[in-house]
Chains A and B, each alone.
Chain A
Amino acid sequence: MINAKIHVRFKSGVLDPQGTAIKGALKHLGFEEVEDVRVGKLIEIKLDAASKKDAEGQIKAMCEKLLANPVIEDYSFELSL
């Protein structure tokens, strides 16, 4: 069994409304040093794959087909046994 941790986030340059709101809240709480906040998603997937290489191909395909929208989002992932 392979565990995949997939991070999906807005591409740099794409304004992040949630990040902007959280930044405002943090400033309001006195965390003046906060310069930027970006919010992403963490998606954890367990999959049955013959090898890490196979899993990598599968996860990449999942990201490109469904999990990330390439127009506004980037993704990265880590695999572990």
Chain B
Amino acid sequence: MKCAVIMFPGSNCDVDCYHACRDVLGQPTEYVFHKEKFSPGDFDLIVLPGGFSYGDYLRAGAIARFSPAMDSVVKAAEAGKLILGICNGFQILLEAKLLPGAMKRNRDLKFHCHDIFLRVENSNTPFTGLYKKGEIIKMPIAHGEGNYFADRDTMEKLKARGGVVFTYCDRDGNVTEEANPNGSVENIAGIVSEQGNVLGMMPHPERCAEDILGNTDGRRVFESILQYVEGSVAHGR
């Protein structure tokens, strides 16, 4: 599986994502600079890492979405390639309209940097195949603008097609207001596109993907992707 990690000016989780793909998963991985273009066939997985692309000036992700590399990401998404946007990467995917909705500042205006619990709402995606539906996992978050918003119409469509992949919950799996760190509508932490090949999530799976980090709950995001891509090759999809 060929992986790419896009580097925007201000990305700060690019090295972690590169490490997760190359060292933890053992797959060939390349950095793509924001000024570079590539072809849809060049990579199987494209990771948009966390950070503060273009300083989050104007709105998080608003300027990054116009970078040359993002033209290629959009084309790759349209060609069915897997796109994983983590944190700022999720914000960029929203601004690029590869995913529905928008991100606002956290409800309490504080930057949240701590572990949270997630419930896996959809395990039938290329990114979550190795999780069980309803499984409770722990992941770190680190964001000031993770307050996901979509209007009622969009929310209904999103839920009807299983677009909600992760929700914030307590350790017992209850999706409560107290377990919602940022005020996201319906506790949404991660969503997938209609075609299923674009995932945006605020928590950081790359920061909990190996034993040395004290938590491996995020590792299966990357392993699910690998399994899916290898299965696709085997089945000629």
Contacts and interface: CB of A to CB of B under 8 A. Distances in A.
Interface of A: 10, 14-15, 17-18, 21, 66-67, 69, 71-72
Nearest to B62: A66
Given A67-B58, A71-B149, 10 more contacts: A14-B149, A17-B108, A17-B109, A17-B147, A17-B183, A21-B109, A66-B63, A71-B100, A71-B150, A71-B151
A2 to B, nearest CB: 21
A38 B59 CA distance: 17
Interface residues of B, number: 21
Given A17-B108, A71-B102, A71-B149, A66 B183 contact: no
B95 interface: yes
A69 B59 contact: yes
Among B94, B104, B150, the most chain A Cβ lie within 10 Å of the Cβ of B104
A69 B109 contact: no
B101 interface: yes
A62 to B, nearest CB: 11
B102 A69 contact: yes
A21 B99 CA distance: 29
B106 interface: yes
B66 A66 contact: yes
Among A15, A18, A69, the most chain B Cβ lie within 10 Å of the Cβ of A69
